[in-house]
Amino acid sequence: MRAISTVLDVTLCLLLVSASAFVLAGARPPQSTARTRTAESTANVLTTSTAGLNYTIRTDDGAIHRTTRGTLAGLLGQTALANASVRGAELSRASDPFEHAVARRVRERLDRPSRMRLLVQWEPYRNAHLRGRFAVGKSPPPQVDVHAAEITLPNKFPPVRERALDAARRGGYRDVARVVAAGIVIGLVPNRTTTLALHDRETGATVAARLRRLVRLYDVYGLDTNTLTTDRARRALIDALTAAVEADLRSTFRTPTEAARSVSLGETRLVVRTWDA
């Protein structure tokens, strides 16, 4: 079924939709060294070059063949979202073939891939228990001069920082946590996409199994994954996430406002590091 998003095709559980526009931001100021230019030019290649991928997802019922296309930066951003984990427990391993295909294609397109490391990360706020991470390339050897450029990738999680700041002014940690939790549920379990996926003959059983894992990881019992799009079920999931997010915020930030300023739910960050050896 083609109405389901690319990242749903990849993860069959996260139900995330990646953005198609990317912004080069946070790059270091231009310098005269070739290595700095390499980091910045690599970041430019990642945001402007497109690639098509064919990959196969293995399921209990067989194999699902998928094709996707996007910028290299966009594909890397999808890998971080697809590789999300809750307190270190992966939400799904179904995305492994996609991740390997992205890494292979990126290496094919870049000069000197053995002398660079690409690290893409999604973290809704600092020290979040829920995060996604993916890397291409090894860490630089010790005592080499390393240069970096950073790319900010918007994703389809709602940008809730302003609402979180309003919640911090009106209330406290729990109010901020609830804004973040609601945004996470919107991104993880979008109503229409989830309904389509669960009723699709090819993906339904696998999506349901992955959703059950999400529910178990947050200790939300008594929910039928086929009804996760109902208001009652979504409220229960938001309540569970609110408690987990609030615990993170209280242990990390001195004030609710400081916590709200850290919220970056709608952003995925890609850091390019290059060196000579």
Instruction: Report pLDDT for 57.
Output: 79
Please state the rounded mean pLDDT for residues 13-19.
34
Task: Give the chain's count of helices (H) and strands (E).
Answer: 10, 9
pLDDT at 126 over 80: yes
Encode 215-231: b = buried (16+ Cβ within 10 Å), e = exposed.
bebbebeebebeebbee
pTM of the model: 0.83
Picking from 34-38, 47-51, 62-66, 256-260, which range would have the lowest pLDDT averaged per residue?
34-38
Q: Longest C-alpha distance within the chain, in Å?
A: 61
| 254 in the same domain as 169 | yes
- Give the residue, 228 or 69, on which the prediction is more confident: 69
Is 150 within the bounds of a domain?
yes
Full domain range(s) for residue 89: 6-156+266-274
Residues 166 and 68: their CA atoms lie apart, in Å, by 38
| 129 in the same domain as 243 | no
- Give the residue, 30 or 147, on which the prediction is more confident: 147
User: Total structural domains in the chain?
Assistant: 2
Closest CA to 66 of 205, 232, 203, 261: 203
Is 149 within the bounds of a domain?
yes
| 105 in the same domain as 19 | yes
| 146 in the same domain as 59 | yes
Is 1 within the bounds of a domain?
no
Is 60 within the bounds of a domain?
yes
Strands 23-24 and 147-154 come out as antiparallel
Q: Hey, what are 35's tokens?
A: 């290595």
| 13 in the same domain as 142 | yes
| 13 in the same domain as 118 | yes
Instruction: Report pLDDT for 233.
Output: 84
Q: Hey, what are 53's tokens?
A: 């991928």
